[in-house]
Amino acid sequence: MKIIPAIDIIDGKCIRLTKGDYSTKKIYSNSPVDIAKSFEDHGIEFLHLVDLDGAKSKGIKNHRVLEKIARFTNLKIDFGGGIKKDSDIQQAFDSGANQVTGGSVAVSQPEKMSNWMNSYGVDKIILGADVRGEKIAINGWMDNSKIDLLPFLESYTTQDLKYLICTDISKDGMLMGPSFELYQKIQNKFPQIKLIASGGVSSMGDLEQLAKMDLEGAIVGKAIYEGRISLKELEKFIIQTN
């Protein structure tokens, strides 16, 4: 299972939110590049980079941060937030992203998301499904839709969807454990999807339990920044599970 630390960006700074609420913003570093380097120094290969300014606006806002991390590290970067137009996704790849996550656009403009999957390939495009009570949320989690998660995923499996990041917003930033039951439900119905868990990871025990579920990966955010999980522990986990 891939260990994928998260860096969320507002105004070029590394921050974390609680339950996706922008009013709960907590700044952890003014240098996302230094944070990314520290991940790489401990054997981590992957990064989930989210442009939160872009997520609630009409396009990417923090592509310079992406450029710097891509230039100064060898991390394989999944970039999301503000990917709403063809020019946004091209800018993300041009700035150094290895993969791009489409969230809101996958809900509001499914034809565009399908076109991206066809144009760039299913290895390059990740579907981001952010949920509250198994209903999809969009626009930086600020807006709820009436769309149920499983039928939503079904519509993309017919297009050979390969990668999915599913975030239970009620768990995000709470350090109370991931939505194991939700992920099991997704795996049972769509075993062909490479599922990446996001939200709620609070301990190495959580990661060990997710690894036993044979997930593609797990995104870890606040648990690292709050010292619940050390980079040294993650380094040992990566070595043991490879």
Rounded CA gap, 69 and 67, in Å? Answer: 6
The reported pLDDT for the residue numbered 175 is 84
For the segment 11-32, the average pLDDT, to the nearest whole number, is 93
pLDDT level of residue 143 (50, 70, 90 thresholds): low
Q: What pLDDT sits at residue 208?
A: 97
- Confidence band, pLDDT 50/70/90 cuts, at residue 56: confident
Residue 172's pLDDT is what? Answer: 80
Summarize the confidence of residues 47-74 as an average pLDDT: 95
Which domains does the chain possess?
2-241 (3.20.20.70)
Q: Which residues are catalytic?
A: 8, 130
| Rounded Cα gap, residues 238 and 167, in angstroms | 22
pLDDT in tens, 89-104: 999 999 999 999 998 8
Mean pLDDT score, 205-234? 97
pLDDT at residue number 140:
55
- Using pLDDT thresholds of 50, 70 and 90, give the confidence band for residue 197: very high
Provide the residue type at 234 as one letter: L
Using CA atoms, how far apart are residues 66 and 129, in angstroms rounded to an integer?
22
pTM for the predicted model, two decimal places = 0.95
8 Å CB contact between 197 and 205: no
- Give the pLDDT of residue 115: 97
Q: Where are the alpha helices (DSSP H) in 51-148?
A: 52-55, 63-72, 86-94, 104-108, 110-120
Residue with tokens 């891939």: 2
pLDDT, position 48: 98
Note whether 42 and 232 are within 8 A (CB): yes
Q: Above 90 in pLDDT, residue 173?
A: no
* Cβ atoms of residues 161 and 76 within 8 Å: no
